Structure 1
């Protein structure tokens, strides 16, 4: 029988890792764990910053902006008394105004009943009208149209009548309107804060044209 020349299979030898290789592996594993912790921590910090900024923006209340957006004159009657010294200058008119309230909050603004006054000299009330309670949706604007005010010069006190007469004779009468909308803002149904929107506008009534001009609100 022929001799078997085949070489028997010899399993490969397993060489144990050196201490240096083990140390390198542990260092790499520790480095990976450290980076993972840094990434998780950075994610938590970014999330906290985002939540803080969101809260500061959405949960901070702002005063709604109220103003007279337009005003018209009806039934204007006036006497400038330029031809008679015995008759004092006077006027009567019906004003029809449109008032808008702009709410920039992230929550509805609800306001109570209030009064819009038309003033002469900033203090003399020559007419007013009631405004019922209402609300303005979040980030919205509410218009109140056809607010009618009857104004007359007979309401002006004697100590201001001379200035009033001079303005009526000049054909240009400066008036102002004022209203205070007292209410509350409900921010995302989380925070409820009291706010007061004040409307303060000035305008000039031109007796010749029968219209208002230079309407300005602040």
Structure 2
């Protein structure tokens, strides 16, 4: 009888420990959606010499990272990342639908073209191109929203989560490299 009581106590302790682990894993954290290091610039044109139509155009590939800190996979829908210069949209990229495994980072390389030709007014595009050519740098902001679901292990319940991106990159026009990249 004493042995049975001791076994019962041990099994209850094990159950309590399992419950504690479940409580710790129960908290769902918001995944992170960022542009990663390793941007590859394929072509860059900044022409300010032509007064009638100054322009800039950059073609590059950017690694987009979806970091999932949860104990369950994060399945996300397709998303659009919008690139702006001076608050005006100059390009966009599509992040395809995908999945980041539990406690891992999903990686997607996206091709992007940003151009002053995408600016709505010709005068604004010309001013932007002159500024880029004279300063030697192109400052772009990239932003977007990623919607998805986290499926928690042990619970088999899904929670909808969306996460945002707000990144700023500075491109050196002369060297055709990314000087800095910061994401909030």
TM-score under structure 1 normalisation? 0.70
Structure 2: segments with no counterpart, 5+ residues? none
Q: Does 1:129 align with 2:90?
A: no
Q: CA offsets per residue over residues 111-138 of structure 1, 9 Å max, x none? A: 01111222112x3211112222111111
SS of aligned partner of 2:175 = coil
Q: How far, CA to CA, are the matches of 1:126 and 1:149 in structure 2?
A: 10
Q: CA offsets per residue over residues 115-173 of structure 1, 9 Å max, x none? A: 1222112x32111122221111111111112x111111122244854456324321111
Which fold has the larger relative contact order, with Cα–Cα distance below 8 Å and residues 6 or more apart in sequence? Answer: 2
Q: How far, CA to CA, are the matches of 2:61 and 2:14 in structure 1?
A: 53
Q: How far, CA to CA, are the matches of 1:62 and 1:168 in structure 2?
A: 43
Which residue in the other structure is 2:43 paired with?
A: 75
Which residue in the other structure is 2:61 paired with?
A: 96
Q: How far, CA to CA, are the matches of 2:132 and 2:43 in structure 1?
A: 19
Contact 1:118/1:178 (<8 A) preserved: yes
- Aligned ranges for residues 133-172 of structure 1 at < 5 Å? 133-145=97-109, 147-158=110-121, 160-161=124-125, 162=127, 165-172=130-137
SS of aligned partner of 2:52 = coil
Structure 1: segments with no counterpart, 5+ residues? 1-32
Q: CA offsets per residue over residues 97-124 of structure 1, 9 Å max, x none? A: 1111111100000001111222112x32
- Greater shift, 90-99 or 166-175, is seen at 166-175
TM-score under structure 2 normalisation? 0.82
Q: How many residues align?
A: 176
Q: How far, CA to CA, are the matches of 2:161 and 2:151 in structure 1?
A: 10
Give the greater-gyration-radius structure (CA): 1
